[in-house]
Structure 1
């Protein structure tokens, strides 16, 4: 495997983790933070592979062809335990943490270490986070905990303080684009577009590439938004009624619209930052020429407010209707 564990960017983090293994001193707990799609889970799994590598040339090396590495990559190794929010649940339950603690108390099955991957642990209930503290304070031997979260601040301070924190940030767009071309063979135009849409998050860029229906939905939602800007109030109400029937879909639509209107705000402010939606540059430029800075800010704030209301279980249809009335008309 390449020196950087076949990752796009985050070289400093790979070198830090390799250094721990080369000194024979891995920490008992690591916290990988950063936005969704930045590479937290991938880096954690690469570290688990290196930690449990067999017959490697030197500590920190990974053989991607070895059966153990492949099992860890698929999160199906008997000494790897994954705790994450289950479909339909609002949070990670305390029972999942207690079951994990029971498993970690046993000796490794066949690898040097038992590894626990706690994904998106900001979604753990307070009781689940508090239960996890016991393991962090008194970790069993031959156990390493790998926690991922959007930010360290989203977790209890007592959890963060007991972990080695690695804060991952989005990469430069040209690095993501080049990596998509060289490592995954994407054409230049597609690689550049995905780098922009993902905001420099390589994992999300690859997710978009592997799931083209997401890009198709994005185009549909942006086209529909353009139509709504010229639509009368009745049409906007009808659209809101249909959209609000599926809250998950509604949130996805609003996140795409938010990205678009942030681009409009950047153009209105004449900022030099790259667009997240360069394929919509003509529409963005046209709107920025007809709106002042305060109006563009107001639309961004309205979408952010609506997303906040949805998280607090407000009436989805009413919140969407108010938002659509706030959208400007030509």
Structure 2
């Protein structure tokens, strides 16, 4: 997929294209932005642009190098993530990467490493990577992909050039879902809204039957409003087994509470993401005070951060859901 076919992020893409054209690429970048907004897609596109055999103003997306990068089997482009069964990116993975970056490119112009999510590097791994970034190997490029820099060492951040990616307009996400993913306009409108401007999140939601999950979550959270502590256990059971499922639920809950807060403050439904659930939004807003809604939203965000840092998911979620029952 050439740059011209990517969704949004024109400013960031132009910055990278200009640096590449002038041979002024930085040795390390941080791509910072919400989950699913397109950071990894842009990073892989940059790798294709660097290695493309047919590139003129744009990379082709179809030459052998572009195809191998898209299929994750190019020898000079590595995607670093936790190994199967592991929770973090280990120091051994970074040491292996360091040795690889010091080798000459096998069939391209640069050795490229994408760490996604970079926030899952443990402290030892970050320290090892810092040494590499302080004396970067020739013809190497490292891209740290993350939703937050809070878990990264300040010294590591200082060695990287930061590119921030913002959520896209819902209309742009909807157009992408309809034209490129073949999703019906009605479903695309809902997915674009609840994904809060993140195309990747919208695609994942469509694949994972998000509409059914969202309906079940709304019903159960509504039961919590009525003081049903039994639902605390049931809902925590449902969403705590899998880390990604826990984070998906918390992302939905944060967005739901954003809508509730917006309606509570403006007494309007304009601008809410869950626009097809207006009645439920109104009832939720009537149940809680403004301070209560702000507290619950903050608690949901903190719970997501804690789960990313590998706390006990079940306990963290039960604690949050108990607050939904107790808070006024």
Q: Could you tell me the TM-score, scaled by structure 2's length?
A: 0.86
Could you tell me whether the CA contact under 8 Å between 2:225 and 2:324 is conserved in 1? no
Could you tell me whether the CA contact under 8 Å between 1:181 and 1:187 is conserved in 2? yes
Q: Which residue of 2 aligns with 1:274?
A: 271
Bigger mean CA deviation after superposition, 301-310 or 40-49: 301-310
Q: How does 1:86-235 map to 2 (within 5 A)?
A: 86-209=83-206, 211-230=207-226, 232-233=228-229, 235=230
Q: Which residue of 2 aligns with 1:75?
A: 72
Query: Would the alpha carbon gap of residues 254 and 164 (structure 1) be closer, same or farther in structure 2, given more than 3 Å must change?
Result: closer
Counterpart of 1:269 in 2: which secondary structure?
helix
Q: Which residue of 2 aligns with 1:287?
A: 284
Bigger mean CA deviation after superposition, 175-184 or 129-138: 175-184
Q: Which residue of 1 aligns with 2:311?
A: 313
Query: Would the alpha carbon gap of residues 8 and 19 (structure 1) be closer, same or farther in structure 2, given more than 3 Å must change?
Result: same
Distance 2:303 2:94 in 1: 33
Q: Which residue of 1 aligns with 2:7?
A: 8
Unaligned segments of structure 1, at least 5 residues: none
Distance 1:240 1:177 in 2: 30
Counterpart of 2:179 in 1: which secondary structure?
helix
Query: Would the alpha carbon gap of residues 127 and 55 (structure 1) be closer, same or farther in structure 2, given more than 3 Å must change?
Result: same
Unaligned segments of structure 2, at least 5 residues: none
Counterpart of 2:209 in 1: which secondary structure?
helix
Counterpart of 1:275 in 2: which secondary structure?
coil
Bigger mean CA deviation after superposition, 277-286 or 220-229: 220-229
Counterpart of 1:327 in 2: which secondary structure?
helix
Question: Is 1:33 the equivalent of 2:32?
Answer: yes
Alpha carbon RMSD of aligned pairs, Å?
2.9
Query: Would the alpha carbon gap of residues 285 and 6 (structure 1) be closer, same or farther in structure 2, given more than 3 Å must change?
Result: same
Query: Would the alpha carbon gap of residues 32 and 127 (structure 1) be closer, same or farther in structure 2, given more than 3 Å must change?
Result: same
Distance 2:284 2:121 in 1: 41
Q: Which residue of 1 aligns with 2:51?
A: 52
Bigger mean CA deviation after superposition, 249-258 or 20-29: 249-258
Query: Would the alpha carbon gap of residues 282 and 91 (structure 1) be closer, same or farther in structure 2, given more than 3 Å must change?
Result: same
1:167 CA drift (Å): 0.7
Distance 1:94 1:27 in 2: 24
Distance 1:95 1:82 in 2: 15
Q: Which residue of 2 aligns with 1:84?
A: 81
1:252 CA drift (Å): 4.1
Bigger mean CA deviation after superposition, 10-19 or 179-188: 179-188
